[in-house]
Structure 1
């Protein structure tokens, strides 16, 4: 399926709608493929499964059906992704239309009882919208999409489905403008897309906010009583542990960070802040652009901040081979708390602690 563009440009709403819709198809692949039968280790020591490659193939096919020349950078190699390609997993056009209608509802505003991706919404309830603004029509050369098709693979192989996520970030002129975080196995307290079991958060400066698919209530910046850090259990020693304790002594954080696996799950924890989660702190190599692009877009829409340990914005122009965040990641729902973390980390030689 190829959707025509206007004056050799692509409509960003079309692409963003495809990103939302394909999280459902990719989620079905992740649900169906048994990880215990196809898990192996990559050269860098991380786990990978057939589901990683199939899910990335689904996402790439969906986005390129809208814009064949779109520049997509995925965690998995294009060569192995093609070996697992499944041409029967095409973009669901009905779901794409509903996703597009929902994005229009967000942008133009609507008094609908149920948004299009909610299971109770009926086609006859969908309103008519004006033509998309010119700002949505862009030259594809200005765009880059960064994809992690299955974040939390190690947890996935162990049967810990809560940590599994799909991450898709849209970069326009080197800045994140739209992000999608899909939860293939659902998320407690959040509605799934059309009763598919897949829960998806999306948004960015493109829509001036962040949202749960189908939910009328937009996400807003939480005000944690006692902000907490979220860190990985396997990477919680050394400078990560010591600096979080230091922030606790300063009264900026709760004393003990929460141990949360997966970049996507950490992102959702910060965005929802159900247990006062506010900071993802990891000032070392070990994450990559596909771990942070979607989160960066969502945080920017909510007044939060994501940078490296020096406070520099991520360089999303880097190649797939150079995508590692060598200077770490500091993500926070509060720009003020983020600023204090960066300033304090620059003092007292914290950067020299392993």
Structure 2
């Protein structure tokens, strides 16, 4: 199935790019939670939903904009897709290229397949349980050859940390201070996970709220590359969270994405 998911992500990314080229920031609207949304989000999601419906009509799809509109399928006890059609809308509007199309398959609370595509910078990532992780460059809509990717050993001179450009909280800064940091990079969207998966960074802490569709696809890539995404109790981040007493359906708590580094060893 992963090859079909890759094709769907490429198709959605191709539809996004013309909007990216012409859209002005003031044309975005705000959702109920105050986050921006654009016509590109809706366009990409419509393509992904149509294609997933043809590919696997028996598998429910939880997609960001559909959930915002109140369309939430039943997922208990069954595999389901998690879709963020445009992660990093703020990056999209600021035109820095750090936005992604994300499609994941969840089974028993685990992201078992994931595809992340950054159309503006031409980077494509894919990974799955038992399949490893890989990266390719995309030019003019055409995918180049795949390269296997893996997390790297912890560098002796200090780690490279990825952190959110738009959501760098004080709690995240405090968490990072416990490590010997050689380089700190702010970036947008799910690409931060992918940098760790590719052995280009060692740690991505997110001590702030996210939603499952923000993380699932890149989480799958990172796990397939030998890394992990852990909650603050050191447990693998779980998916399909419903009826949470302190938050909405599909909301994530704080987490840490890492390669070979033990992020809680210094506790």
Q: Same fold (TM over 0.5)?
A: yes
Cα shift readout 1:4-40 (whole Å, capped 9, x = no counterpart): xxxxxxxxx2xx2221101121112211224326311
Moved over 4 A (4+): 78-82
Preserved contact between residue 70 and residue 143 of structure 1 (Cα < 8 Å): yes
Measure, in 2, the Cα distance between the counterparts of 1:216 and 1:35: 32
Preserved contact between residue 40 and residue 48 of structure 1 (Cα < 8 Å): yes
| 2:217 aligned residue | 294
**Whose Rg is larger?**
1
**Match runs of 1:112-131 below 5 Å:** none
State whether structure 2 residue 83 is matched by structure 1 residue 147. Answer: yes
Structure whose residues are more often strand by fraction = 2
**Match runs of 1:30-49 below 5 Å:** 30-33=16-19, 34-36=22-24, 38-49=27-38
State whether structure 2 residue 95 is matched by structure 1 residue 159. Answer: yes
> For this pair of structures, how many residues does the alignment match?
247
Alpha-carbon RMSD across the aligned residues, in angstroms, is 2.5
Measure, in 2, the Cα distance between the counterparts of 1:216 and 1:290: 25
**Match runs of 1:214-233 below 5 Å:** 214-223=144-153, 225=155, 226-233=158-165
Preserved contact between residue 101 and residue 118 of structure 2 (Cα < 8 Å): yes
**Match runs of 1:9-28 below 5 Å:** 13=1, 16-28=2-14
State whether structure 2 residue 129 is matched by structure 1 residue 205. Answer: yes
State whether structure 2 residue 165 is matched by structure 1 residue 177. Answer: no
Preserved contact between residue 35 and residue 51 of structure 1 (Cα < 8 Å): no
Structure whose residues are more often helix by fraction = 1
Preserved contact between residue 224 and residue 273 of structure 1 (Cα < 8 Å): no
Measure, in 2, the Cα distance between the counterparts of 1:265 and 1:298: 11
**Structure 1's 245 and 78: CA in aligned 2 closer, same or farther, altered over 3 A?**
closer
3-state SS of 2:264 partner: helix
Q: If the length of structure 2 is used for normalisation, what is the TM-score?
A: 0.83
Measure, in 1, the Cα distance between the counterparts of 2:161 and 2:81: 28
Q: If the length of structure 1 is used for normalisation, what is the TM-score?
A: 0.64
Measure, in 2, the Cα distance between the counterparts of 1:268 and 1:324: 21
| 1:314 aligned residue | 237
Residue ranges of structure 2 left out of the alignment (5+ in a row): 72-76, 137-143
Cα shift readout 1:303-330 (whole Å, capped 9, x = no counterpart): 21102122122231224951121x2121
Residue ranges of structure 1 left out of the alignment (5+ in a row): 1-12, 83-140, 188-198, 348-354
User: Structure 1 residue 74: deviation in Å?
Assistant: 0.9
